[in-house]
């Protein structure tokens, strides 16, 4: 009868707050800063890779993860909790979607699935909320923003996208998910210790019509503002959502095969961006 006492640890305080969730947010706000910037043709996710000891091997540490070929994720907060969520996100994108429709979920659907997992941890018995905030970046098939503008100028009559009607908006998508299970779409944002500083910086640097290369540049500049240690290919981690990376497919000459849009930059690539900073 152990389940008798397994009531939710997250209970309302008299003032109407759920303090467990606020504590979880505190854990996030002590975490290493992570940021994401959406460009017209892609997204960049970036974070600092901090190791506690000079003896640690940084090449085996990874904070940005691929979820589906077109979706990637980064976190701020507790590393172990993040790994659990990465596992769940990868699992649910197959069981809840690919195995049913034989295609990967659109970003919003995956975000909602992960957000549900996090929400359930605030209402279930015997568990604590996840101590992480996530940035989820992905590319969706559908009508691209620029195509939609062209279509609007063309003819007014036919609607390309709508709430429950037309085709889903495609292109780059960037979301933040919090321990409460709430999620927000962003053009650019940051989470973690220096989120406020980073967001102020991003507000100044972000412009509409940004290209992916510019976004990577801004991401590194923002990180530079907040970083504590040295900046190099070993201490910085960058993930991008960009054009299909056919070289990562592992095969050639397969008709209709498209490479993953999400990939992590190698330390060498990061070094190259840093020298051009």
Q: Which of 87, 103, 146, 272 touches another protein (CB under 8 A)?
A: 103
CA neighbor of 212 nearest in space, from 70, 34, 41: 41
- Whose Cβ is closer to another protein: residue 161's or residue 197's? 161
Per CB under 8 A, which region of 56-64, 164-172, 208-216, 247-255 contacts another protein? 164-172
> Taking CB under 8 A as the rule, does residue 165 contact another protein?
yes
Integer Cα distance of 208 and 37 in angstroms:
11
- The footprint of another protein on this chain (CB under 8 A) covers a number of residues equal to 19
- Whose Cβ is closer to another protein: residue 61's or residue 168's? 168
In sequence order, what E strands does 118-272 have? 132-140, 171-177, 183-185, 188-191, 236-241, 262-264
> Taking CB under 8 A as the rule, does residue 258 contact another protein?
no
> Taking CB under 8 A as the rule, does residue 156 contact another protein?
no
> Taking CB under 8 A as the rule, does residue 163 contact another protein?
yes
> Taking CB under 8 A as the rule, does residue 155 contact another protein?
no
Integer Cα distance of 231 and 49 in angstroms:
10
Q: At 55, is the secondary structure helix, strand, or coil?
A: coil
b/e per residue, 235-262, with b = 16+ CB within 10 A? Answer: bbbbbbbbebeeeeeeeeeeeeeeebbb
Per CB under 8 A, which region of 106-114, 178-186, 251-259, 262-270 contacts another protein? 106-114
β-strands 188-191, 34-38: how paired? antiparallel
Q: Which of 168, 221, 248, 257 touches another protein (CB under 8 A)?
A: 168
Restricted to residues 129-148, the positions that interact with another protein (CB under 8 A) are 141-142
Integer Cα distance of 68 and 76 in angstroms:
20
Q: Which of 11, 102, 268, 275 touches another protein (CB under 8 A)?
A: 102
What residue ranges bind another protein (CB under 8 A)?
Answer: 99-103, 106, 109, 112, 141-142, 158, 161-168
């Amino acid at each position: 009868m152990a389940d008798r006492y397994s009531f939710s640890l997250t209970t309302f305080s008299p003032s109407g707050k759920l303090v467990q969730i606020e504590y979880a947010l505190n854990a996030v706000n002590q975490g290493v800063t992570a940021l994401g910037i959406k460009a017209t043709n892609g997204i960049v996710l970036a974070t600092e890779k901090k190791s506690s000891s000079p003896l640690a091997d940084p090449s085996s540490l990874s904070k940005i993860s691929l979820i589906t070929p077109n979706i990637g994720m980064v976190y701020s907060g507790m590393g172990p909790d993040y790994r659990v969520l990465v596992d769940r996100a990868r699992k649910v994108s197959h069981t809840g979607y690919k195995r049913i429709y034989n295609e990967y979920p659109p970003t919003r659907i995956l975000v909602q699935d992960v957000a549900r997992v996090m929400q359930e941890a605030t209402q279930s018995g015997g568990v604590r909320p996840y101590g992480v905030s996530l940035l989820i970046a992905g590319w969706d098939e559908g009508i691209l923003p620029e195509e939609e503008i062209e279509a609007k100028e063309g003819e007014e009559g036919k609607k390309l996208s709508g709430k429950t009607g037309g085709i889903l908006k495609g292109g780059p998508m960037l979301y933040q998910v919090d321990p409460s299970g709430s999620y927000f779409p962003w053009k650019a944002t940051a989470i973690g210790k220096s989120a406020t500083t980073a967001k102020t910086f991003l507000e100044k640097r972000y412009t509409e019509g940004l290209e992916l290369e510019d976004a990577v540049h801004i991401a590194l500049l923002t990180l530079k503002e907040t970083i504590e240690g040295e900046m190099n290919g070993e201490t910085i981690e960058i993930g991008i959502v960009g054009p299909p990376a056919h070289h990562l497919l592992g095969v050639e000459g397969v008709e209709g095969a498209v490479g993953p849009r999400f990939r992590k930059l190698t330390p060498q690539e990061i070094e190259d961006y840093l020298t051009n900073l």
